[in-house]
Amino acid sequence: MTALPLPARSPFKRLGLLHVAVILTLATIPFLLVFAISFGHKVEGAAWVWSLEFSNYKRFFVGSDYPDTVSFLYLKYLWYSVWYALVAAVLAVATAFPFVWQMIRLSRRAQTLWLVFFLCSLTFSEVFIVMGWDILMSNRSGLPMLFRETGITDWLKANGGLDLLREWGLATPRNVRFKPSQFATILTLTYLVWPYAVILLYPPISKIEREVIEAARTMGAGPLTVMRTVVTPMVRTPLIGAVLLLFVFLLGAYVTIAVFADPSSHTLSISVYEAVRGATLNAPFGAAQAVILLLTAAGVLVIGQRFMSAKSGGR
Amino acid sequence: MGKLLSRGFMCGAAIWIIFPIIVVCLAALNSGRTMFFPPEDPTLARFTEFFLTEEIWVRSLRTSFVVAFSSAGLAVLAAWPIAYGLWRRNDRGSKLIAGLALMPFALPPIVFGVGLVFFWGYLGALGNIWSGIISHAVLFPALPLTTLSIGLQSIDRAHLDAAATMGANEATAFRTIILPQMLPFTASGFFFALVLSFNEFIVIFFVSASGYSTVTVQIFNSLRNGFTPTMAVGAITFLTISALVFSLIARFGNLPQLLGSDSSKSS
């Protein structure tokens, strides 16, 4: 693509420069502030002051009283952030891929209808989605009630299934109980990004040329061989790319964790909020946690950049 | 057999996506204060509450509208020069600018939210509604930027060459060739940003600082008392807006192309 020469005194130039300056200031300064404040010092019983100390990071990794005592509390939060996000992202992509594979065979009109449907559920606020699953998993209506009414609970009690569920934290002595639990958290997170997975996988998969697969088939390759030697190399890059993008998106999930996760398995986003605007009010430490969340995301995106071709970037 | 299986799988996926949404929508019909499913003693009284009588919901719905419309408009204005520069020059500098403008959208929003708390805190604007609007306007240019770039790609450069040969300057060419072709893409970008702003929670949760609240923030703040059927009316309202907007985009624009699948570009 050759760019047209831009006239030296373009009427858009000055206006554009001002625009760009304002946008870039607003888009970058908040991140720089987070970074700078993460080195700040919290004054006991007061606000915080600028500083250049690593105590917030020390507190994150080994606890504030190190080396007297060691605390991995915040590493545990980070671990839960990564764990939930990774499992949900992999589950979503693994189940969305066969779906997209079917979807691209439909007529153009049908594809558009499906896309509208997914865009609606995609933009549906996390708050509402959590509301839906909260009703579905609440004890007085929803699944536990369904289990009791249909007799599944009694059946589970009779053959010991309920005891097994209790060990997994999914039941009380009387009935199944789905929240708070990791099961509910991961289920809702998977649901949250499922439409995203479809939208991300749709462009690269719809560009795969069916003729190549047909050719392989006519030349005598079985379905499994085709899957292994033709399809997998073509879709590996977009699949990994989608997992990474969804992972980054899920790292910052807040409402789902706040409602469905047990306080003992909360994530970094909860403790960031607590530190910045919530109960504990320690802005520098909140900033340091946010920086670590950001670095985790950035690290994943950098790895992703290697896998993602420039074209499948999409939105 | 294979066909039946694939039909079944697609139906299953549709049910998996739509079921919780239906549950929320039906929960709005409950007559009591508790969310029951299926609804007990169905009534439409919650709708009157949400839209007319209950002050907090009427106010937060109005706030949601104000924030969404103004921030989407600003996001489109912000994205235009960047998309245009990217298309016109396509050099390192313009790519860097576009990349930086995409940053708030690409990184976990909670980090951007924390940064905005510090930023507006410094300016003494935390909790002002206009700082909330600007926050969303900075978060969402990514969407109009994408739709505008896709649109600009499909403009036939031969037309611009012809216009230049016939003596049109850049402004004339912009007004007569580029702008008319770009209207659907501008509108799509605006509506994408609008719908996302409506449904956004975490950034506005951070910057609103209990000075005002949009519907999503108000729902989360009222969570202490559990979800109530009146909130479900909010869910229905937002879902209707999304469906309306995306149907319009699909009707008047090319949705598969906007999502990056179409290879039949005219260039």
Cβ atoms within 10 Å, residue A206: 18
Share of chain A above pLDDT 90, in %: 20
CB A118 within 8 A of CB A199: yes
- The CATH number given to whatever domain includes residue B173 is 1.10.3720.10
Q: Closest to B6 (Cβ–Cβ): which among A24, A102, A273?
A: A102
pLDDT at A10 (0 to 100):
58
Q: Is B227 on the interface with A (CB under 8 A)?
A: yes
Chain B environment of A293 (Cβ under 8 Å): 108, 110-111
Cβ within 8 Å, pair A129-B104:
no
CB A118 within 8 A of CB B246: no
Q: Measure CA of the first residue to CA of the last residue in chain A; give whole Å.
A: 21
Helical spans, DSSP H, in chain B? 2-27, 45-48, 55-89, 92-106, 109-123, 129-139, 142-153, 157-165, 170-173, 179-199, 202-208, 215-221, 229-252, 255-258
Q: Closest to A252 (Cβ–Cβ): which among B36, B101, B108?
A: B108
Question: In residues, how long is chain A?
Answer: 315
pLDDT at A186 (0 to 100):
93
Helical spans, DSSP H, in chain A? 11-37, 55-62, 73-103, 108-123, 126-137, 143-149, 152-159, 161-167, 182-206, 210-218, 223-226, 232-251, 255-260, 268-276, 283-307
More confident residue, B32 or B108: B108
Q: Check whether A32 has a pLDDT greater than 90.
A: yes
Rounded Cα gap, residues B98 and B107, in angstroms: 14
Rounded Cα gap, residues A182 and A162, in angstroms: 17
Question: What residues of chain B, 25 to 54, have a C-beta less than 8 Å from chain A?
Answer: 27, 34-37
Q: Check whether B55 has a pLDDT greater than 70.
A: yes
Q: Is A286 on the interface with B (CB under 8 A)?
A: yes
Question: Please, what's the b/e burial string for B46-77 (b: 16 or more CB within 10 A of its CB; e: otherwise)?
Answer: bbebbeeeeeebeebbebbebbbbbbbebbbe
Q: Check whether A7 has a pLDDT greater than 60.
A: no
Predicted TM-score (pTM) of the model is 0.85
Residue B13 lies in a domain: no
Q: Is A212 on the interface with B (CB under 8 A)?
A: no
User: CA triplet A81, B20, A123: central angle to 5 degrees?
Assistant: 65
User: Mean pLDDT, to the nearest integer, of B66-84?
Assistant: 92
Q: Which two structure tokens, joined as six digits, stand for B171?
A: 């402004």
User: Mean pLDDT, to the nearest integer, of B91-115?
Assistant: 88
Residue in the block written with tokens 């002050």: B55
Mutation test of the interface with chain B: which of A48, A82, A130, A135, choosing the one with the most B Cβ atoms within 10 A?
A135
Chain B environment of A6 (Cβ under 8 Å): 88-89, 170
Residue B110 CA to chain centroid, in angstroms? 17
Residue B251 lies in a domain: yes
User: Mean pLDDT, to the nearest integer, of A238-247?
Assistant: 88
Residue B15 lies in a domain: no
Q: Check whether B43 has a pLDDT greater than 90.
A: no
More confident residue, B260 or B48: B48
Q: Is B241 on the interface with A (CB under 8 A)?
A: no
- Candidates A115, A281, A100, A121; CA nearest to A192 is A121
For the segment A199-236, what is each residue's pLDDT rounded down to a tens digit?
Answer: 888 888 887 777 777 888 888 877 778 777 887 788 88
User: How is A83-141 classified by DSSP, letter by letter?
Assistant: HHHHHHHHHHHHHHHHHHHHHTTS-HHHHHHHHHHHHHHHHS-HHHHHHHHHHHH-SSS
Residue in the block written with tokens 């008392």: B225
Confidence of residue A290 (pLDDT cuts 50, 70, 90): very high
pLDDT at A295 (0 to 100):
92
Domain limits at B209?
A: 65-258
Cβ within 8 Å, pair B116-A121:
no
Rounded Cα gap, residues A280 and B93, in angstroms: 42
**Cα-trace Rg, chain B:** 22
Q: Which two structure tokens, joined as six digits, stand for B92?
A: 């390192």
Q: Check whether B262 has a pLDDT greater than 60.
A: no
Q: Is B232 on the interface with A (CB under 8 A)?
A: yes
Residue B141 lies in a domain: yes
Q: What is the number of domains present in chain B?
A: 1
Confidence of residue A12 (pLDDT cuts 50, 70, 90): low
CB B107 within 8 A of CB B46: no
Q: Is B199 on the interface with A (CB under 8 A)?
A: yes
Cβ atoms within 10 Å, residue A240: 16
Cβ within 8 Å, pair B138-A195:
no
Q: Compute the half-sphere exposure of residue B201: CA atoms within 13 Å on the CB side of its CA.
A: 20
Cβ atoms within 10 Å, residue A119: 25
Mutation test of the interface with chain B: which of A1, A17, A123, choosing the one with the most B Cβ atoms within 10 A?
A123
DSSP state of B31: S
Cβ within 8 Å, pair B246-A140:
no
Q: Check whether A285 has a pLDDT greater than 70.
A: yes
pLDDT at A122 (0 to 100):
83
Say which range, A41-50, A261-270, A281-290, B148-157, has the weakest mean pLDDT. A41-50
Chain B residue with CA closest to A290: the answer is B111
Residue B54 lies in a domain: no
pLDDT at A1 (0 to 100):
42
Q: Check whether B267 has a pLDDT greater than 60.
A: no
- Burial (CB < 10 A; 0-12, 13-18, 19+), residue B29, is buried
pLDDT at A22 (0 to 100):
87
Give chain B's mean pLDDT: 84
* Shortest alpha-carbon distance between residue B178 and chain A (Å): 14
Q: Check whether B186 has a pLDDT greater than 70.
A: yes
Asked if ipTM goes beyond 0.95, one says: no
More confident residue, B264 or B167: B167
Report domain extents, chain A: 55-124+194-313
Chain B environment of A82 (Cβ under 8 Å): none
Q: Closest to A252 (Cβ–Cβ): which among B90, B109, B196?
A: B109
Chain B residue with CA closest to A99: the answer is B10
Name, in order, each residue with C-beta under 8 angstroms of A194's C-beta and a sequence gap of 6 or more: A92, A95, A96, B16, B17
Chain B residue with CA closest to A144: the answer is B37
Cβ within 8 Å, pair A127-B201:
yes
Q: Check whether B265 has a pLDDT greater than 60.
A: no
Cβ within 8 Å, pair B114-A314:
no
Residue in the block written with tokens 């991961």: A186
Cβ within 8 Å, pair A135-B261:
no
- Candidates A36, A73, A118, A90; CA nearest to A315 is A118
Rounded Cα gap, residues B10 and B15, in angstroms: 9
Residue B243 lies in a domain: yes
**Cα-trace Rg, chain A:** 25
pLDDT at B261 (0 to 100):
64
Q: Is B171 on the interface with A (CB under 8 A)?
A: yes
φ, ψ dihedrals at B208, nearest 5°? -70, -30
Residue A167 CA to chain centroid, in angstroms? 28
Mapped onto helix, strand or coil, the DSSP state of residue A286 is helix
Cβ atoms within 10 Å, residue A144: 23
Residue B105 lies in a domain: yes
For the segment B211-241, what is each residue's pLDDT rounded down to a tens digit?
Answer: 788 999 988 888 767 778 888 888 888 888 8
The domain A55-124+194-313 having CATH identifier 1.10.3720.10: the answer here is yes
Mapped onto helix, strand or coil, the DSSP state of residue A41 is strand
| Cα-based torsion angle of the residue sequence A21, A22, A27, A29 in order, rounded to the nearest 10 degrees | 90
Name, in order, each residue with C-beta under 8 angstroms of A158's C-beta and a sequence gap of 6 or more: none
pLDDT at A199 (0 to 100):
87
- Candidates A292, A263, A314, A216; CA nearest to A59 is A292
User: Mean pLDDT, to the nearest integer, of A46-58?
Assistant: 81
Q: Check whether B33 has a pLDDT greater than 70.
A: no
Q: Is B67 on the interface with A (CB under 8 A)?
A: no
β-pair type (A48-49, A41-42): antiparallel
* Shortest alpha-carbon distance between residue A167 and chain B (Å): 27
pLDDT at B239 (0 to 100):
87
